[in-house]
């Protein structure tokens, strides 16, 4: 089949098909790589329709409407039906496919909540289905040997072959023909592999379908993202974004909810740790052989503040330009953690002791404060230092630095073991900080350590009172048998 262009009555190109298709049917989830990313693997394919007015051509634009943020691309292999198909068997299905081409199944995640899976508005916008630029004759290719690749601004971001499909291409044709007649010119979008993510105005997305090792290719389908000037009105559903939509739009793996477990830090234990000084806790940890539990080199931005909470961890790796490009932008690990921190939790950041850039700023601090975080511990720097302090969120760091994250760090992963200020911190460890510093307490020892520290604090307070009255330290600090007898007698009177 040759490559040619035609223009629909609306003035929008109809791609290499020559006329608008009667139907565009798209597969929800079809590649194993995408299924792994989404955390669910379908037993059978499922579908949705896209309007024929969404067809676009290579070299065209796709508009991100005003007031929205999550326009995502999906590079796909498109099948063009050549002969009428109804109740066809899988082994005969490919005979009804005339051509294969490249497609980009754009979607606006801001409208997904309104569509409940139908994708009518989220994927039905004008130009949201560019096709082409050329057609590959289906008779010339093995449907199991095709490859799809996608580039954004010249960087390869998606690459997979039909060997990575959960369902073979023939199955889509056969399955759909059970339910309605597939007619010549109808298009089936066969799903996207992992790597789909959000694009912004000015970005150029390129998709190509080919047969590796040969000259067979659809050509490269170019689409430029533009910024719309018109926003949706309240005559219908308005854009709505939440953390799940952001994660899925940006391509973040969606984790299954963790099993409910008993909290390691009860209200009673938290109250004890708030009373216990870090110096006393450190002494009790040392008595039990734990000498490497102090987070060194950090100071509070709010002198006199006390931090008690369970650790949520964030690991930065040293900046490398290609890694920052892939992991530093968008809804990265840093933003995801600050968006998901729970009440009473402490964010602990591994920055390798490098204070040459900020590891958080005022916006993230505001978010953590709003969510009820107990504080942040970082062995790096803090940007917007005074503004962060003004939020009221206790932050322990190596001090202020004006540079942004990318000067030194790439946000890499969360809720893993980290090294902060020379101490290993595991998710769920108990963090306590005050003007003397920060210590890490294993949850299994926390109650014992807290009780012992409070006992010692009462004893030290009594000793300090005696010293303040002019008594010599010898025999008093630490208590010899005579002074201990006096102390215990005093205790009984209290």
CA trace torsion 244, 53, 134, 102 (10° rounding): 10
Q: Are 349 and 360 in contact (CB under 8 A)?
A: yes
Whole-number Å distance between alpha carbons of 373 and 397: 16
Task: Identify which of 102, 137, 134, 56 has the alpha carbon closest to the alpha carbon of residue 209.
Answer: 102
- Is 384 labelled as part of a ligand binding site? yes
- Is 361 labelled as part of a ligand binding site? yes
Tokens of 384: 């917007």
Helix (H) or strand (E) holding 210: strand 204-210
- In this structure, are strands 155-161 and 147-152 parallel, antiparallel, or unpaired? antiparallel
For residue 112, the number of C-alpha atoms closer than 13 Å in the C-beta half-sphere is: 20
Radius of gyration of the chain (CA): 30
Tokens of 270: 């938290």
| 333-340 vs 362-370: helix crossing angle, rounded to 10 | 30
Whole-number Å distance between alpha carbons of 314 and 347: 7
Q: Strand, helix or coil at 246? A: helix
Strands (E), 321-463: 345-350, 375-378, 395-397, 409-414, 418-420, 423-425, 430-434, 437-441
- In this structure, are strands 147-152 and 204-210 parallel, antiparallel, or unpaired? antiparallel
Which letter does DSSP use for residue 236 in this model? Answer: S
Strand partners, 104: 75
Q: Are 365 and 394 in contact (CB under 8 A)?
A: no
Whole-number Å distance between alpha carbons of 357 and 380: 7
Which residue bears the tokens 């938290």?
Answer: 270
Complete edge-to-edge strand list for the sheet that includes strand 155-161: 60-66, 221-231, 204-210, 147-152, 155-161
- Is 362 labelled as part of a ligand binding site? yes
- Residue numbers in the known binding site are 361-364, 383-384
- Residue numbers in the known binding site for substrate are 361-364, 383
- Residue numbers in the known binding site for Mg(2+) are 384
């Amino acid at each position: 089949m040759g490559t040619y262009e035609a223009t629909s009555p609306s003035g929008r190109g109809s791609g290499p098909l020559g006329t608008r298709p009667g139907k565009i049917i798209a597969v929800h989830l079809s590649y194993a790589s995408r299924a792994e990313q989404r955390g669910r693997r379908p037993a059978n394919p499922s579908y949705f329709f896209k309007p024929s007015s969404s067809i676009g051509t290579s070299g065209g634009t796709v508009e991100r409407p005003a007031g929205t943020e999550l326009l995502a691309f999906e590079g796909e292999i498109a099948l063009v039906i050549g002969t009428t198909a109804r109740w066809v068997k899988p082994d005969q299905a490919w005979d009804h496919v005339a051509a294969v081409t490249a497609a980009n199944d754009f979607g606006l995640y801001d409208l997904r909540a309104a569509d409940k899976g139908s994708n009518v508005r989220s994927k039905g916008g004008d130009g949201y289905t560019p096709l082409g630029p050329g057609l590959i004759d289906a008779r010339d290719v093995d449907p199991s040997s095709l490859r799809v690749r996608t580039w954004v601004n010249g960087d390869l971001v998606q690459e997979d072959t039909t060997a990575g499909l959960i369902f073979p291409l023939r199955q889509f044709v056969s399955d759909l023909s059970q339910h309605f007649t597939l007619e010549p010119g109808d298009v089936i979008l066969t799903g996207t592999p992992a790597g789909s993510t959000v694009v912004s105005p000015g970005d150029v997305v390129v998709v190509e379908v080919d047969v590796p090792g040969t000259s067979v290719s659809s050509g490269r389908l170019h689409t430029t993202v533009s910024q719309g000037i018109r926003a949706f009105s309240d005559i219908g559903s308005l854009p709505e974004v939440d953390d799940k939509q952001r994660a899925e739009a940006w391509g973040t793996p969606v984790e299954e909810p963790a099993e409910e477990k008993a909290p390691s830090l009860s209200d009673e234990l938290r109250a004890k740790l708030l009373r216990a000084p870090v110096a006393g806790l450190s002494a009790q940890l040392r008595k039990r052989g734990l000498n490497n539990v102090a987070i060194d080199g950090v100071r509070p931005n709010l002198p006199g503040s006390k931090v008690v909470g369970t650790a949520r961890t964030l690991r930065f790796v040293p900046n490398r330009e290609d890694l920052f490009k892939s992991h530093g932008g968008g809804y990265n690990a840093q933003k995801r953690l600050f968006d998901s921190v729970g009440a009473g939790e402490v964010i602990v950041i591994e920055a390798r002791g490098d204070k040459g850039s900020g590891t958080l700023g005022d916006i993230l601090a505001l978010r953590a404060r709003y969510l009820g975080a107990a504080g942040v511990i970082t062995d790096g720097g803090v940007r917007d230092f005074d503004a962060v302090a003004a939020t009221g969120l206790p932050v322990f760091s190596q001090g202020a630095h004006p540079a942004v994250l990318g000067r030194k760090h790439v946000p890499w992963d969360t809720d893993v073991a980290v090294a902060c200020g020379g101490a290993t911190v595991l998710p769920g460890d108990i963090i306590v900080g005050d003007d003397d510093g920060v210590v890490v307490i294993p949850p299994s020892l926390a109650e014992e350590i807290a009780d012992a520290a409070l006992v010692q604090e009462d004893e030290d307070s009594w000793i300090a009172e005696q010293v303040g009255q002019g008594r010599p330290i010898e025999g008093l600090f630490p208590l010899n048998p005579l002074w201990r007898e006096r102390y215990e007698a005093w205790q009984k009177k209290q």
